[in-house]
Structure formats: C-alpha cells, structure tokens
C-alpha cells in the first residue's frame, strides 16, 4: 500500500490517501474533491480550476496522469 496527498494529486491540502493502485487513489481523491467542492473550499476550487484547464488538452492531461502514476510507482510501500 502507498500514500499520496491531495497536493501530490493536484489538490490543495495534505489529506493522505492510502491505496494499492493509482486507480484507487484517484477515486479517493475524486471523492475528496467532490466534498471540498460541495463545501465551497476556495483553495480546492482553485486547484480544480487548474485541473479543468489541463483537461482542455488531452495530451497535457495524459502527461499529467502519467507523471502522477510514475510518482506513485516510485513511492515506498507503507510500513
């Protein structure tokens, strides 16, 4: 199992997500983002806008996902 923070995933805080796969962590991050959106959390809304800008370019979004996935792969397993 590995750990990534909201910030490492393009978010705005240090909330940690623990999972075995990138897909699991991405889902946790998505759920967290939805909660922060519903609360109107300004730092998270700013971070979400940045991701939405990336989404306008499929190549840029693909590169971003690949970089985050690579970062997860290089992280040590949790003890």
DSSP secondary structure of 5-17: ETGGGT-SS--EE
- Collect all residues with Cβ–Cβ distance below 8 Å to 64 and sequence separation of at least 6: 10, 54
Per-residue confidence in pLDDT tens, the chain, 79 aa: 999 999 999 999 999 999 999 999 999 999 999 999 999 999 999 999 999 998 899 999 999 989 999 999 998 898 7
Specify the pLDDT at position 79: 74
């Amino acid at each position: 199992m590995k750990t990534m923070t909201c910030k490492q995933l393009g978010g705005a805080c240090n909330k940690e997500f623990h999972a075995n796969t990138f897909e699991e962590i991405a889902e946790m991050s998505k759920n967290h983002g939805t909660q922060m959106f519903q609360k109107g959390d300004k730092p998270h809304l700013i971070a979400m806008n940045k991701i939405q800008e990336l989404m306008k370019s499929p190549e840029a979004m693909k590169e971003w996902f690949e970089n985050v996935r690579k970062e997860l792969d290089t992280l040590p397993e949790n003890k």
